[in-house]
Chains A and B, each alone.
Chain A
């Protein structure tokens, strides 16, 4: 009864919020209820009880049994035969998939705007962008439709929408989770990520997908009131004038809480941040262009203009530049591990320079300008795709206007459990998830204006 009841609740919420948020590409009532009944009839004995019967949803880039991902595009992709590794692992863990979620076309933008699907919207304020490209995943978790969603992150596509929608967004160490059966964007950076409201659920999902038992990176603290005692946290200071006061205020809040919880907080700088961004941009553009070369030639008009322009960028980059960007990667990784992370356990940075902007202020997917405008939004997230480090967007509160604000926590490679541990301490201290967006009692028709025929 547990899985069926939870699934019915999730489906009801999904249908209630969908006209307002447009966060689902499909809501699969029949399949979900059938699956939930199977779980109730006999869940795997070895599964984590937090995942058994848990309603989940995936960004629409993962192959599911009987369902090919649309990847937010009108482009037709060759059909895949095997379900995604993520789907297999989460089903084995006893979760119930209720649907597939909205995204930017081919995961190649970070706003949640999409001409094919229509824009996705932010549950905290529907005129605001949810962020992307895992837009639907962040919106569905923020709206409390599902407690766990699966996204992908190539330059910030889990962490940015998580920050703008006020949920946890976790990009594990590169290659920790299999990308088999996923529509790729740039395989050297693509990382399966998770979005959730509760760190324990996030951790359970991560362990199910990595087939790992809980393996804490540090021993339990001696004083429960100071759970972060012994940790050194670095606050990135070189963020210049690019960050809004609300975002730097979130850094202040997180810093104060870290100190209260016993951590030592120090100033930190990141070597080569600009160079990491530059090299990452070349790798992503080159790999995406190569992966789409055939379909772009066959179906150019089916791509949104903004995506098409970005794929053209990749075609214009010399192979030598792509190889040099890859050559720089190990050098940059070593420099950061031997530099700041030789004395720091965790680095705090902004996720994006601003909180969720008005949707209308962002370039539409039809604009070639989107190719030039995305870089500044990715400046704090994309370097950690390039470096492969685990990185987590954690809410720390709300602006005076009621929009979520977040910080990004990053650790050295394979210290994923440490990040989860730190996020758990922050969650217990700040209790950011107690505040929730409200579905308007008078229904979505008062928010999304109906289409009316022109007079005359």
Chain B
């Protein structure tokens, strides 16, 4: 394996380890979510508080 291939493998393996950790974190958060929680609702909250 060339040095470049080895470096690429090291990067991919480091990235996979971090991604697995992040995915596990979201799995925990998901238990807290309800079907009505929309992905852009946070923008509406911020806008409402601005004019409050």
B24 to A: closest C-beta gap in Å: 8
Taking CB as reference atom, which chain A residue is nearest B44? A330
Q: Knowing A278-B26, A324-B30, A330-B37 are in contact, say whether A371-B42 is a contact too (CB < 8 A).
A: no
Complex Cα spacing A150 to B25, Å: 33
How many chain-B residues does the 8 Å CB contact rule pick out? 30
- Contact, CB under 8 Å: B46 / A175: yes
A405 at interface by CB-CB < 8 Å: no
| Chain B residues positioned under 8 Å from A371 (CB to CB) | 14-15, 18
Complex Cα spacing A316 to B50, Å: 36
| Chain B residues positioned under 8 Å from A454 (CB to CB) | none
- Contact, CB under 8 Å: A174 / B46: yes
Complex Cα spacing A281 to B38, Å: 19
- Contact, CB under 8 Å: B22 / A313: yes
Taking CB as reference atom, which chain A residue is nearest B35? A327
- Contact, CB under 8 Å: A326 / B42: yes
Q: How many A-B residue pairs have CB under 8 A?
A: 104
A439 at interface by CB-CB < 8 Å: no
Contacts of A318-367 to chain B: CB distance below 8 A = 318, 321, 323-331, 333-334, 337
Interface string of B27-52 (1 = CB under 8 A from A): 01110110001111110111001100
Q: How large is the interface on A (under 10, 10 to 19, 20 to 34, 35 or more residues)?
A: 35 or more
B1 at interface by CB-CB < 8 Å: no
Among candidates B19, B29, B46, residue contacting A278 with C-beta atoms closer than 8 Å: B29
Complex Cα spacing A294 to B51, Å: 39
A56 at interface by CB-CB < 8 Å: no
- Contact, CB under 8 Å: B15 / A330: no
Interface string of B1-19 (1 = CB under 8 A from A): 0000001001110111111
Interface string of A398-441 (1 = CB under 8 A from B): 00000000000000111000000000000000000000000000
Taking CB as reference atom, which chain B residue is nearest A188? B42
| Chain B residues positioned under 8 Å from A414 (CB to CB) | 49-50
| Chain B residues positioned under 8 Å from A325 (CB to CB) | 26, 29
- Contact, CB under 8 Å: B19 / A313: yes
A309 at interface by CB-CB < 8 Å: yes
- Contact, CB under 8 Å: A326 / B40: yes
A282 at interface by CB-CB < 8 Å: yes
A372 at interface by CB-CB < 8 Å: yes
Complex Cα spacing A278 to B44, Å: 22
B9 to A: closest C-beta gap in Å: 10
B28 to A: closest C-beta gap in Å: 7
A102 to B: closest C-beta gap in Å: 25
- Contact, CB under 8 Å: B22 / A282: yes
Among candidates A309, A317, A329, residue contacting B14 with C-beta atoms closer than 8 Å: A309
Complex Cα spacing A327 to B46, Å: 14
- Contact, CB under 8 Å: A328 / B44: no
Taking CB as reference atom, which chain B residue is nearest A388? B46
- Contact, CB under 8 Å: A324 / B26: yes
- Contact, CB under 8 Å: B15 / A313: yes
- Contact, CB under 8 Å: A331 / B37: yes
| Chain A residues positioned under 8 Å from B41 (CB to CB) | 327, 329-330
By a beta-carbon cutoff of 8 Å, the part of chain B in contact with chain A is 7, 10-12, 14-19, 22-23, 25-26, 28-30, 32-33, 37-42, 44-46, 49-50
Given contacts A278-B28, A326-B39, A328-B32, 8 further A-B contacts (CB under 8 A): A275-B29, A278-B29, A279-B25, A312-B11, A325-B26, A326-B40, A330-B38, A333-B42
By a beta-carbon cutoff of 8 Å, the part of chain A in contact with chain B is 173-175, 275, 278-279, 281-282, 285, 305, 308-310, 312-313, 315-318, 321, 323-331, 333-334, 337, 368-369, 371-372, 388, 412-414
Q: Across the A-B interface, give the 7 residue pairs with the lowest CB-CB distance, nearest first.
A: A278-B25, A312-B15, A368-B14, A330-B41, A316-B19, A329-B42, A326-B39
